[in-house]
Amino acid sequence: MPRPYAGLRNVASYLRTTHAPAIGVRGLLAYAVLDATQQPLPGIPMSDTFLAGRTALITGSTSGIGLAIASALAAAGAKVAINGLGSAEQIASAIAEVDAAGHAETRHFGADLRDPAAIDRMMSELTAWSGGGIDILINNAGIQHAVPLAEMPVQKWNDIIAINLSAAFHAMRVALPGMATRGYGRVVNVASVHGLVASKDKAPYVASKFGIIGLSKVAALEYAALGSRESGGITVNCICPGWVETPLIEPQIEARMAGGNRDDGVRALLAEKQPSLRMTLPAEIAALAVFLCRREAHNITGASLPVDGGWTAQ
């Protein structure tokens, strides 16, 4: 779809970056052409705003990894729908953060992902808001509850499976056919190392994450041959983080403080499983999600990509 003035807008945004002086006026003009047409020019790197004209939904993006992915996709030019729970202030702050990072409109869709009917309503509203359907679906929302299997409340099992696994199915079921029609689509499911290996005390979490990896492989196969290199194709992948510093793991840090401070808790958590002994930052997961959305990533599909400091290499 033609995007009048998109190239000029994107050049303006590029001028704000530190690389602008290095490429000169001819380079900037090349960027304008590149951005307006979405066609890569030989020898010219793809624009930072290569997602201009695309719409993305990121579930669970009022906090943590989802918020970082929403901001990074907005910075890459996408119109971003955020979703997630939180106070009015937290939601307003998330919208403001994504808006500040981006170039297009940001809106919050408040569906509680435990409710399939609410997901259906959100997906219908998104079809209208995006003018035909979303191009990028990041199933990121997730919750955790760590206790031994026999002590796991049944309601926790139901909620974790609903949010971490079933919600992704409900959203993909609606979003994928539109992606197929347009020849471009990206589904990135934020799974976990716990989709690749287990830990005790996390029965529903591990089951949900193994499940979403299986679901992603099926969808990847069903849509692999649609679209083309030029249109970008339809890909479905999982990112499998180890420890990422977000509110989700705070109870597990606190449980390991052993009378010390928070840094002691972080060190103890890393020492158990993550050989790099470094936390991943949400923005580092976001950088991988953005890469998967590029056209050059058309042949990365059905993959489960660990970002885990060597956790699953052991």
Q: Decide: is 65 part of the binding site for ligand NAD (CB under 6 A).
A: yes
Near ligand NAD by CB under 6 A: residue from 81, 175, 179, 244:
244
Min CB(133)–ligand NAD separation in Å: 21
Looking at the Cβ atoms of 75 and 167, the one nearer to ligand NAD is 167
Q: Decide: is 232 part of the binding site for ligand NAD (CB under 6 A).
A: no
Residue 14 among the catalytic residues = no
Looking at the Cβ atoms of 179 and 190, the one nearer to ligand NAD is 190
Near ligand NAD by CB under 6 A: residue from 30, 34, 51, 64:
64
Distances (CA, A) of 212 to 171, 183, 219, 290: 13, 23, 10, 20
Looking at the Cβ atoms of 112 and 264, the one nearer to ligand NAD is 112
Q: Decide: is 116 part of the binding site for ligand NAD (CB under 6 A).
A: no
* Complete edge-to-edge strand list for the sheet that includes strand 184-190: 106-109, 79-83, 55-58, 136-139, 184-190, 233-241, 304-307
- Pick from 126, 218, 229: nearest CA to 178: 126
Q: Token pair of 201, please? A: 């005390």
> In terms of DSSP bridges, do strands 304-307 and 136-139 run parallel, antiparallel, or are they unpaired?
unpaired
Distances (CA, A) of 185 to 31, 43, 51: 23, 25, 12
| DSSP, residue by residue, 214-256 | HHHHHHHHHHTTSS-TTT-EEEEEEEEES-B-SGGGHHHHHTT
Are 194 and 202 in contact by the 8 Å Cβ rule? The answer is: yes
Q: Decide: is 306 part of the binding site for ligand NAD (CB under 6 A).
A: no
Distances (CA, A) of 189 to 64, 154, 169, 172, 240: 15, 25, 10, 10, 9
Distances (CA, A) of 205 to 43, 208, 310: 45, 5, 21
Q: Which stretch binds ligand NAD (CB under 6 A): 48-56, 59-67, 215-223, 255-263?
A: 59-67
Q: Per-residue x/- mask for ligand NAD, residues 129 to 148, rule CB under 6 A? A: -----------xxxx-----
Distances (CA, A) of 82 to 95, 101, 162: 8, 13, 19
Catalytic residue among 14, 31, 184, 205: 205
Looking at the Cβ atoms of 7 and 211, the one nearer to ligand NAD is 211
Near ligand NAD by CB under 6 A: residue from 7, 60, 77, 265:
60
* Partners of 80 in beta bridges: 56, 106
Q: Token pair of 172, please? A: 């993909």
Q: Decide: is 84 part of the binding site for ligand NAD (CB under 6 A).
A: yes
Measure the N-to-C terminal CA separation of the chain; round to a whole number of Å.
47
Near ligand NAD by CB under 6 A: residue from 113, 171, 286, 290:
113
Min CB(295)–ligand NAD separation in Å: 26
Judged by CB under 6 A, how many residues of this single chain contact ligand NAD? 29
Q: Decide: is 248 part of the binding site for ligand NAD (CB under 6 A).
A: yes
Q: Per-residue x/- mask for ligand NAD, residues 161 to 180, rule CB under 6 A? A: --xx----------------
Min CB(57)–ligand NAD separation in Å: 12
Min CB(18)–ligand NAD separation in Å: 28
Min CB(23)–ligand NAD separation in Å: 35
Beta-sheet strands, E only, within 9-130: 55-58, 79-83, 106-109
* Residues making contact with ligand NAD (CB under 6 A): 60-66, 83-86, 112-114, 140-143, 163-164, 190, 192, 241, 243-244, 246-249
Catalytic residues: 205
